[in-house]
Amino acid sequence: QKEVEQDPGPLSVPEGAIVSLNCTYSNSAFQYFMWYRQYSRKGPELLMYTYSSGNKEDGRFTAQVDKSSKYISLFIRDSQPSDSATYLCAMSKYGNKLVFGAGTILRVKS
Amino acid sequence: EAGVVQSPRYKIIEKKQPVAFWCNPISGHNTLYWYLQNLGQGPELLIRYENEEAVDDSQLPKDRFSAERLKGVDSTLKIQPAELGDSAVYLCASSLSGQGEAFFGQGTRLTVV
């Protein structure tokens, strides 16, 4: 079993929809939680960074961390075709490597 | 502020040939990572540096891969000899020490033929 599980999709939604992306993990020592967006043939771009549990909002993006359930989510409001990309969740312990999920492919149709 | 810079962006080599990738991290970032990303998968760590010291190289195939980070800034990752299975994207990232917030370069796409 992988440390971080993420549904690869693809997830296809109409423009304007609310998108929910999720990851589960097994290592309770993870403290830092991140979401990256990766366009084709580009490097991962950091979208959201959260320490420990709770919510964080940045524009159309909201990240949630539930450490008791070992579950993290990324919500995208008013999705746009430009949001079409692969979304990677990642997490780490202090002073340690990032462990990634496999990524979810998102397609937003205009 | 400049981000993480990697070169080359693309490289095509024949199997058994050597290849090297270069990374310049964000200024002031002590931690540097080299990740490997296969198609359809998330990045997997090859090696992590804290300043000049390789603190996690457990996933680096040391029979053919080597890395260095002289003076704790730039880093080079080398493969010698390359195998067909090494075809992948090699990503470099950097962060402040201990923090999970890592920033990635654009990657080097390696094709071994």
Work out the burial of residue A35: count CB atoms within 10 Å of its CB; fewer than 13 is exposed, 13-18 middle, 19 or more buried. buried
Residue of B nearest to A42 (CA): B106
Residue of B nearest to A86 (CA): B40
**Is the peptide bond preceding residue B61 cis, with omega within 30 degrees of 0?**
no
Q: Are A45 and B43 in contact (CB under 8 A)?
A: no
pLDDT mean over A32-47 = 96
Residues B6-18: pLDDT tens digits? 999 999 999 999 9
Q: What span, in angstroms and rounded, lies between the C-alpha atoms of A100 and B47?
A: 15
Residue A2 distance to chain B (closest CA, Å):
12
Query: CB under 8 Å to B13, separation ≥6 — which residues?
Result: B19, B82, B110, B111, B112, B113
Please identify among residues 22-51 of chain B the ones whose CB lies closer than 8 Å to any CB of chain A: 33, 40-45, 48
CB contact under 8 A, B100 and A98: yes
Among B75, B71, B70, B74, CA closest to B60 = B75
Q: What span, in angstroms and rounded, lies between the C-alpha atoms of B19 and B111?
A: 11
Residue with tokens 């939680």: A33
Nearest to A46 among B41, B56, B103 (CB): B103
Quote the percentage of chain A above a pLDDT of 90. Answer: 87
Residue of B nearest to A43 (CA): B106
3-state DSSP percent of chain A in helix, strand and coil, to 5: 5, 55, 45
CB contact under 8 A, A44 and B104: yes
Residue B101 distance to chain A (closest CA, Å):
7
User: What residues of chain B lie within 8 A of the CB of A5, using their CB?
Assistant: none
How many H-runs (helices) and E-runs (strands) does chain B carry? 0, 11
Pairing between β-strand B19-24 and β-strand B75-79 as defined by DSSP bridges = antiparallel
Work out the number of other CB atoms within 10 angstroms of the CB of residue B15: 13
Residues A44-84: pLDDT tens digits? 999 999 988 889 999 999 999 999 999 999 999 999 999 99
Q: Are B4 and B25 in contact (CB under 8 A)?
A: yes
Residue to substitute from B7, B32, B35, interface A, most A β-carbons within 10 A: B35
CB contact under 8 A, A46 and B101: yes
Residues B22-72: pLDDT tens digits? 999 999 999 999 999 999 999 999 999 999 999 999 999 999 999 999 888
Which pLDDT belongs to residue B1? 65
Work out the number of other CB atoms within 10 angstroms of the CB of residue A34: 23
Name the band, by pLDDT with cuts 50, 70 and 90, for residue A1. confident
pLDDT mean over A92-103 = 91
